[in-house]
Structure 1
Amino acid sequence: MKMITRVKEAFGNLDDHSPETLKKTLIELGVTLDELAPYLEDPEGRPYYRQMIYEDDHVEMIVMNWADIECAPHDHGQSTGWIQVMNGTTKQTVYQAHGEALPFPLFTEFKENGSLFFAPEKGIHKMGREGATPLVTLHVYSPPIRGMRVYDLETCAACVVSSDCGAWWPEEQRQRLKEIKLQK
Structure 2
Amino acid sequence: MNTLESLMNRLERLQSPTVSELQGILRQVRLSPGDIECFVAQPENGRSYGRQVIFRNAELEAIVIHLPALSQTSIHDHGESIGCALVVEGKLTNQLYTTAGYGMVHPAGSYEVTSGSCMLAPYGQIHEMLNRTDERMISLHVYAPPLAGMKQYVPESSAVLDYVI
Normalising by the smaller structure, the TM-score range is 0.7 to 0.9
Q: Does residue 7 of structure 1 match 2:7?
A: yes
Please, which of 102, 114, 119 is the counterpart of residue 112 of structure 1? Answer: 114
Shift of 1:62: 0.5
Q: Does residue 60 of structure 1 match 2:58?
A: no
The question of whether the paired residues in 2 share the 8 Å contact of 1:46 and 1:69 is answered with: no
CA distance in 1, matches of 2:16, 2:119: 20
What letter matches 1:31 in structure 2?
Answer: L
Aligned to 1:146: 148
CA distance in 2, matches of 1:84, 1:8: 14
The question of whether the paired residues in 1 share the 8 Å contact of 2:50 and 2:67 is answered with: yes
Shift of 1:152: 3.0
What secondary structure does 1:6 align onto? helix
RMSD over aligned CA atoms reads 2.0
CA distance in 2, matches of 1:107, 1:46: 24
CA distance in 2, matches of 1:46, 1:72: 8
Aligned to 1:25: 25
The question of whether the paired residues in 1 share the 8 Å contact of 2:95 and 2:129 is answered with: yes
Normalization by structure 2: what TM-score? 0.84
Q: Which runs of 5+ in 2 are unaligned?
A: 161-165
What letter matches 1:66 in structure 2?
Answer: L
Alignment of 1:28-39 (within 5 A): 28-39=28-39
What letter matches 2:47 in structure 1?
Answer: R
* Closer/same/farther in 2, CA of residues 123 and 2 from structure 1, 3 Å limit: same
The question of whether the paired residues in 2 share the 8 Å contact of 1:4 and 1:53 is answered with: no
Identity level (%): 27
CA distance in 2, matches of 1:78, 1:51: 20
Shift of 1:70: 1.4
Q: Deviations over 1:53-108 (max 9, x none)?
A: 11111111101111232111100011111111111111221000166442111112
Aligned to 2:163: none
CA distance in 2, matches of 1:6, 1:99: 44
The question of whether the paired residues in 1 share the 8 Å contact of 2:4 and 2:31 is answered with: no
Shift of 1:141: 0.8
The question of whether the paired residues in 2 share the 8 Å contact of 1:7 and 1:54 is answered with: no
The question of whether the paired residues in 1 share the 8 Å contact of 2:77 and 2:150 is answered with: yes
* Closer/same/farther in 2, CA of residues 101 and 16 from structure 1, 3 Å limit: closer
Q: Which runs of 5+ in 1 are unaligned?
A: 157-184
Aligned to 1:165: none
* Closer/same/farther in 2, CA of residues 83 and 75 from structure 1, 3 Å limit: same
Q: Deviations over 1:113-147 (max 9, x none)?
A: 12212111111001111211211111011111110
CA distance in 1, matches of 2:117, 2:147: 22
